[in-house]
Amino acid sequence: MTSFDTSPQLNVWRALLALAVVFVMLATTGWTALRNQRGPTALEASVTAWEHGRIDGRRLPDAQAAPARLARFFASLTAWQRTSLAHRYPLAVGNMNGAPVQLRYLANRSALQKARSVERARTHDKRLSPAGQREAGRRMRNYEALLDPGRHILAFDPAGSGRVAEVFGNLNRADRVSVVVPGVDTELLTFQRTDRKKYAAPVGMAKSLYAAERAASPGTDTAVIAWADYTSPSGLGMEAATANRAEHGAVRLNALLRALPGRSPVSLFCHSYGSVVCGLAADTLPGRVSDIAVAGSPGMRAENASHLDTSARVWAMRDADDWIQDVPYLEVGGLGHGADPVSAGFGARVLSARDAQGHSGYFVPGTDSLRNFAGIGVGAYRTVACAGEDDTCRAGLSEATAAGRA
């Protein structure tokens, strides 16, 4: 009989070899190439104009000032002055943490209208290839969809593949706030889908969670943010295997959270590479973030939950058919994202994901995964279902429920 060495050390070396092969393949097939940006983007130009602007003789504050300072500045203005600034510097105001939420919606509507006009003109630009004209048409139609009545766009940047965030519910009066942090291939053109991938796109995820939260606790005012306001990796290449994009995303996520109105508890729902973003953001999250729930995670850049150094409760789930379970759960030389969040040694509260549909089906209505997310989002921890016999989860539910009553 032939014996095979299945020692942990050998398994680690096999994983390292696999990562090295992937690195070489990606490096030689162009995945490591960078796209050059010529000149300032529209957002950068708007911020520069803001920084040289005035309102009735008053200098405008630094666009990157602390949210509290910017909030005081806007509170000192008349309604007409605020509206004037939103129309004069739409991208700057629309992405300004500290600006009133309703003013950001107004500013981003103005910015979307301008961006739509730009893309409409590009669809007839003879200097573009037919493919370029079609791309302009797709972007124009996406902007038109974002301009539909009743949509609340909290952030918008048309540069490159684009960034956007949308709110469902009323942020100003919400008792509980949820933020959906998506993974790879998130951009303007994939922000919303109407096909069978509907619940794999940020808008579909957030709308589904919002409906589930309202069903779980009709008396709780909730708001859900579809947050695609970071530049995610494109495809499953080197960008997805490293933390560079997640590091930048973590900074942006924390900036958003610190500028949210009110003091309501906030829960983060982080899918796939989005869990890397949440893991890196964890140690600097504001105290109002009560829960971090990850699904289909490749790792959170930590060896265990305690190393995240956060007061937020950490939850994790993975569908039995999710291909992410086959990735090497380690981090070596910047490649890989560390330990498996659903492993016993990680220490997260492991939740049931029964009926979830593979890697992209955690927000599909009728699944345990969505019901569990909704229970966490509204603070109804007694309704949350643990995975199997997970003692950490059951103990965590008791502790969370007791904390909620307190």
pLDDT band, residue 84 (cuts 50/70/90): very high
Q: Is the pLDDT of residue 64 over 60?
A: yes
Length of the chain: 406
pLDDT band, residue 395 (cuts 50/70/90): confident
Q: Which of 265, 217, 244 is nearest to 383 (CA)?
A: 217
Q: How far is CA 371 from the centre of its chain?
A: 20
What do you get for the CA distance between the two ends of the chain, in Å?
A: 61
**Span 243-266, average pLDDT:** 97
**Whether 348 contacts 342, CB under 8 Å:** yes
Indicate the average pLDDT of the chain.
90
The pLDDT tens digits of the residues spanning 325-348 come to 999 999 888 999 999 999 999 999
The pLDDT tens digits of the residues spanning 65-76 come to 999 999 999 999
Q: Is the pLDDT of residue 185 over 70?
A: yes
Q: Is the pLDDT of residue 170 over 90?
A: yes
Q: Is the pLDDT of residue 296 over 60?
A: yes
- According to the model, what pLDDT value does residue 301 have? 97
DSSP 196-253: TTGGGSHHHHHHHHHHHHHHH-TTS-EEEEEEE-S---SSSSHHHHSSHHHHHHHHHH
- According to the model, what pLDDT value does residue 236 have? 84
In 347-366, which positions are buried (b, 16+ CB within 10 angstroms) versus exposed (e)? Answer: bbbbbbbeebbebbbbbbee
Q: Is the pLDDT of residue 279 over 60?
A: yes
The pLDDT tens digits of the residues spanning 52-62 come to 999 999 999 99
Nearest-angstrom CA–CA distance, 78 and 1: 84
**Phi, psi (rounded to 5 degrees) for 27:** -65, -35
Q: Which of 268, 96, 260, 244 is nearest to 182 (CA)?
A: 268
Nearest-angstrom CA–CA distance, 243 and 334: 7
- According to the model, what pLDDT value does residue 110 have? 98
- According to the model, what pLDDT value does residue 232 have? 96
**Span 247-259, average pLDDT:** 97
- According to the model, what pLDDT value does residue 2 have? 35
**Whether 91 contacts 157, CB under 8 Å:** yes
For each of the domains in the chain, give its residue range(s) and CATH number, in order of start.
61-149 (no CATH), 159-398 (3.40.50.1820)
